[in-house]
Structure 1
């Protein structure tokens, strides 16, 4: 069963959606494409702007469809692109086992008529040929020159706006120190919100988000450690501001201050680190931010030699879109290629594709950690002193609680580090062969641990 391309044209809400779908109807944009035995159900995963691809599915019998993207258009460009792929047979829709996420959608559908709902308004005129056609270049031979000049001017203005914002930030930090850190901690939410708004005005969006989340990080510390925590947080902001002034074109620093480079830019960079390996999903950390976005960080452990030991896939979606189903399962192992964002210590990455890990990977042990924990904690301070957190692979040790109920990780050599939050009770007192954690503000956030009888997840 296949759909006619004219049906895709009629299904689109407007010409803009059709044009966007044409841009996505390319084999390189899709993975895990498949169909049911009768060809009536089709599905696939489309690469989006975040770390996780969007899951797209459609029923060709009634054109019912579903996509996990946050678009308010129905159907969205991803659904239209999937149908376009099917109509023109751009990729093979081979018969495969129906994924659980497709089966779940089918189970929730009410009857067979859950296709596109009429809006009561006439559909805007659409044109398939116009959607296919590339944008026409202007006849004016000076148009390209003017565009380049305008782009250079915007870049210069953005650069100056960021520098002005950083000046304001350092002045603000000095004011907090003069007024007293006790008063700052008591009023951190309001004060950080005001300076974050100034960062937004100054094109320093990433810095604004970091300032908005700073009060929550301070309040997560015990009362007696908050002043020290404030000194560390504000000190890192000063280091980041000065690093930007020294190296404004450094992609890692710019990412921490302004914005992350687009996915397309990273994939087109021949110097970007690409690592094909077997990975284990350690944990997924989901947080609702003050800016109305939900961040979803998926932490991976490299089970083979070569490349970074850890990888982090970061995705964002609006909180108003509700809880998004995870595409990963903690403890899952898969073979996949990752592209890492440029950094002194590469961690954040984009997943290009994955397949189930080889059979021998299921029983493969974790990499052997370095017995001395000190070098792992010091390396990020030397290369990324402004970083909020860094992943570490802890050697053999145990988790224990002291008389006051505080939790600690203790290595065989006596090295002891505090834990940031609670852990599952089975982990307390258990001998751990190794543990993966995040080190932030002098505390460990446990992700998962390897024990003599298997993996235990701290976030499962």
Structure 2
């Protein structure tokens, strides 16, 4: 029986747990690792901060698990680390007799009668496996227990919300300090200063916002030196807007996603309010970035070939950098019929792939025309989410030109607009008439994803 790393990632409650598990997926952290003869049960002892190691166990059939650590997360980082060891075959899980502490867990998990299955005596390991396989009738839930759990969950949610609000207070005070001390000093020392406030946000459970601030120095350094003060003002202003939006609507899913954590895949799929779009899609490009927290973000951009509905979709995945480069299931330029479910938002963009059909020869050959003016395409998303960092755009006819300093600019065919382009924009993109261009606007420059020309499709690296 096997488990893959993708299943481990989906099991994690948040990205911080996954990052911590990556640090534990090392042979030196573990002792007493073993498994049942059929590979269904695995266990091990993980060194912790105390004198005694934590005892960790899991059933690979249904991913039930247990750890003796005091963490409130389920599963904890130790369970994820054990599953990671198994998924990547980092250490051998030699078949062995089931330890007593694993047997005790099985007995409690499956019920007292499961600990002693009927039949002739068998080795302890075989008994435990039989116990794990016994299907107990579903117990009737005690209304008092259900009410108690609901009260505890409500209390935890209240404590989490309070912690986030306290962290946001600290963030706004920090932003005020940076403006008071001067932007020049902030830009010169941005990495250290952002790292300190990001750590405070992590402690306050505002993990998504912490990751955003951790990446802020890199976004500023990517700008020309003269543009960095303006870029810093814009970035800090967006953080203030996001903090105040959370205070006004702490239960709004899109805002909470930008501050704390995203909903699980299962939650989004089960949400009746989540938009579902079944149409024709083209894979524009894939962006892979190693983040400062040790995770790699893999973003796949899709363009809808339909005339209505969300124009773009963003499939976002995370995996630890220590796992190495992961192959993509998409090819830029590929077209397919598929169903996507979007995370609820005023501007639906991030999505999950529900179904993907094979490519069809009858797919629409051309991209749809922009459904709004360039001015509206740049401003309307910011009216809905003014803290957004990136805005995907479908640009009208134009071409890439260069200024006297060699900088690349996208220029509309009618000369009404011109936008600076990130990077050199060389190859086929340079000077070619572009009938349609898909790009990401970051507030100060365009990142070209792909374009169409009279001679066919042009990728960002062509």
Q: Give TM-score, length-normalised by structure 2.
A: 0.75
Are the equivalent residues in 2 in contact too, given 1:282–1:330 (CA < 8 A)?
yes
What is the CA deviation profile of residues 377-427 of structure 1, one whole-angstrom value per residue up to 9, with x for unaligned ones? Answer: 011111110001010000000001212111100001211000122323221
What is the CA deviation profile of residues 412-460 of structure 1, one whole-angstrom value per residue up to 9, with x for unaligned ones? Answer: 1211000122323221100000100001032100000011111110046
Pairing partner for 2:39 from 11, 19, 22: 11
What is the CA deviation profile of residues 64-95 of structure 1, one whole-angstrom value per residue up to 9, with x for unaligned ones? Answer: xxxxx99524358xxxxxxxxxxxxxxxxxxx
RMSD: 2.6
Match of 1:74 in 2: 86
Match of 1:386 in 2: 387
Are the equivalent residues in 1 in contact too, given 2:286–2:332 (CA < 8 A)?
yes
Counterparts in 2 of 1:327 and 1:71: CA distance versus 1, 3 Å: farther
What is the CA deviation profile of residues 88-124 of structure 1, one whole-angstrom value per residue up to 9, with x for unaligned ones? Answer: xxxxxxxxxxxxxxxxxxxxxxxxxxx9985446263
Partner Cα separation in structure 2 for residue 149 and residue 261 of structure 1: 21
* Structure 1 range deviating more: 416-425 or 238-247: 416-425
**Structure 1 residue matching 2:171: 3-state secondary structure:** helix
Partner Cα separation in structure 2 for residue 332 and residue 343 of structure 1: 27
Larger relative contact order (C-alpha < 8 A, sep ≥ 6)?
A: 1
Match of 1:406 in 2: 407
Match of 1:338 in 2: 340
Are the equivalent residues in 1 in contact too, given 2:289–2:297 (CA < 8 A)?
yes
Are the equivalent residues in 2 in contact too, given 1:283–1:448 (CA < 8 A)?
yes
The answer to whether residue 163 in structure 2 is matched with residue 151 in structure 1 is no
Match of 1:426 in 2: 428
Counterparts in 2 of 1:131 and 1:316: CA distance versus 1, 3 Å: farther
Partner Cα separation in structure 2 for residue 135 and residue 194 of structure 1: 52
Are the equivalent residues in 2 in contact too, given 1:283–1:300 (CA < 8 A)?
yes
Partner Cα separation in structure 2 for residue 427 and residue 296 of structure 1: 24
Are the equivalent residues in 2 in contact too, given 1:9–1:18 (CA < 8 A)?
no
Following superposition, the deviation at residue 134 of structure 1 comes to: 7.2
Aligned residue pair count: 370
Partner Cα separation in structure 1 for residue 245 and residue 271 of structure 2: 23
Partner Cα separation in structure 2 for residue 119 and residue 148 of structure 1: 38
Counterparts in 2 of 1:192 and 1:137: CA distance versus 1, 3 Å: farther
Match of 1:31 in 2: none
Following superposition, the deviation at residue 353 of structure 1 comes to: 1.6
Counterparts in 2 of 1:270 and 1:371: CA distance versus 1, 3 Å: closer
Runs of at least 5 residues in structure 1 that lack an aligned partner in the other structure: 1-6, 24-68, 77-114
Counterparts in 2 of 1:139 and 1:374: CA distance versus 1, 3 Å: closer
Match of 2:365 in 1: 364
**Structure 1 residue matching 2:38: 3-state secondary structure:** helix
Are the equivalent residues in 2 in contact too, given 1:240–1:253 (CA < 8 A)?
yes
Partner Cα separation in structure 2 for residue 332 and residue 441 of structure 1: 29
Counterparts in 2 of 1:356 and 1:189: CA distance versus 1, 3 Å: same
**Structure 2 residue matching 1:74: 3-state secondary structure:** helix
Partner Cα separation in structure 1 for residue 322 and residue 197 of structure 2: 25
Match of 1:108 in 2: none
Counterparts in 2 of 1:385 and 1:116: CA distance versus 1, 3 Å: closer
